[in-house]
Amino acid sequence: MKLLIQNGTVVDPKSQKVFHSDVLTEDDRIVKISENISPEEAGEGTELLDAAGCYVMPGFIDLHVHFRDPGLEYKETLATGGAAAAHGGVTTVCAMPNTKPVIDTKEKVEEVHNRAKTESPIHVIQLGAVTKGQKGEELADIQGMAEAGCMAISEDGKSVMNASLYRKGMKEAKKAGLRIFAHCEDITMVEGGVMNADAKAEALGLKGITNSVEDVIVARDILLAKETGVRLHLCHCSTKDSVEMIRLAKEEGLPVTGEVCPHHFTLSTDDIVEDDGNYKMNPPLRSKEDVEALKQGLKDGIMDVISTDHAPHGEKEKNCSMKKAAFGIVGLETSAALTYTELVDTGILTILQMAEKMSYNPAKILGLEEKGAVEEGTTADLVIFDPKAEYEIDKETFCSKGKNTPFDGRKVKGKVRCTISDGRVVYQEA
C-alpha cells in the first residue's frame, strides 16, 4: 500500500526543520520526502492525501494513558481507546497497568499486546506494575514483563510507599533495561482531599490536596534514581517545585525526564467555579503560579513531554460532587488542540517544540529509534494537522467511551485532519 501526502509543510523535530514537501509512504515506511512528487512517480494504486495549509508531523506518542482493558471495559477498551487516540493524532500509547487484573506478569503483557494488534488501530505498549497487584508488598515479574516488551514499569495511580521495596524494583528495572514511570503522590498525606488546597477549596467546602503531596515523592524518586541509575520519567507533574527539582536533576546529569498534561498547563484552580466532578483529577489543578512554572518549564526544555493521562470513567462516576467523583479526565482527543492553542499560538512553544514534546522526546525516552521523526526510512506514523482550524470542543464527538472533560464547549485552534499508523489511514476527518 502506498500513500502520497501532497502540498503539506513537514515538521521534523529530529532534523529541527520545517519545510514544504510531499511525503510518500509504502507499506509501513516513509520512502521519499521531496517537493512535487507526482502521482505517476508514486505509482499506480497510490492513495492521495492533500495536506495543503497543514503540517505533516510525526504521529504523537502518548506515554500515559489508561485504556481500562482488561476488566473495566465499560470505561474504555483497546478498540475505543485506540480510536480516540487516532482521532487525536496519537499513533503510539503507553497503557498503564492499573486494570483488573493488574498487569503484573509476562503473560498479561503479552495478552494485551496480542489483542491490541487486531483490536486497536494504533500501537499499544502495555506497561507493567512495579508490585504484584499494585499492593506495594512484593515485586512483580519485572524481568518477565521486560521480555514481553513492556518497556517501562509503573505503579500508576499510586506510589510505592515502601522506599526499600521501590529501590529494589528500580534496580531490577535497570537490570532488565526498563524505565520507571512514576506517579508521585504520598498517599498518607492526601487525607481525603479532592482538589488543590487553597481558598477556592475552602469556598466550595471541599478538602484540599497540598503541593507537598506530589513534591516529597518527586524528591524521593529522583534521589533513588540517582542511587540506582534507573531511567526515571516523572508523570503528570503539576507543581512549580516539581519543575525545579527536575531542573536540578538534569543539571546533575541524572537520567530524569518529566511530563506535563494539557489540563495542568491550561487550567488552574481559579477555573473551577462549582463543585463539578469533571474538574476532579489526580494531581489536581493547581495555582496560576504553578501553571506558569509548567509553561516555562516546557519552554525551557526542562519538561520533556506532553502526555494526557487519559482516564475515562462512566457518566455516573463523574457527573456528581467532587466528594464522590472518581479522579480523572479524558485527553487523547483534545491534547493536540489544547497544546497548539495554549502554547504554540501564544508563542510559548514553536511548532517544532510541540512535535518534540509530543513525538520525538517520547520516542527517545522509550528508545524507539524509528519513530518520532519525519524522515526517509522511519515508520510511517504521521499526522496531518491544520493549525488554522477553529472550533469548539464537543465531547459528543469523542470516540472514547469517556466523556469526562471540563473542556466541553471550549474554543480551540488546531485540528487533526488525518492520522496514519504504519502507513494506513486510521482516522480521516469526514
pLDDT at 430: 80
Beta strands in 262-315 (DSSP E): 305-306
The x, y and z cell numbers of residue 199, run together, are 481558598
User: What CATH fold (topology level) applies to the domain 2-55+379-428?
Assistant: Urease, subunit C; domain 1 (2.30.40)
Q: How many CB atoms lie within 10 A of CB 44?
A: 7
| Catalytic annotation present for 309 | yes
Task: Return the pLDDT at 158.
Answer: 87
Residue 206: all three cell numbers together: 471541599
- Name residues of the chain where pLDDT drops below 50: none
Reference 109, options 124, 119, 93; nearest CA is 124
Please give the pLDDT value at position 156: 87
For the chain, the structural domain boundaries read 2-55+379-428, 59-366
Asked if the domains at 2-55+379-428 and 59-366 fall in one CATH topology, the answer is no
Q: Which of 156, 221, 290, 309 is catalytic?
A: 309
pLDDT value for 354: 98
Give the CA angle between residues 298, 161, 365 to the nearest 5°.
35
The pLDDT tens digits for 138-197 are 999 999 999 999 999 999 888 999 999 999 999 999 999 999 999 999 999 999 999 999
Whole-angstrom distance between the N-terminal and C-terminal Cα of the chain?
21
User: Residue 249 is placed in which grid cell?
Assistant: 536533576
Q: What is the CATH number of domain 59-366?
A: 3.20.20.140
pLDDT of residue 157: 82
Plot region of 116 (φ>0 → left; ψ -120 to 50 → alpha; else → beta): alpha
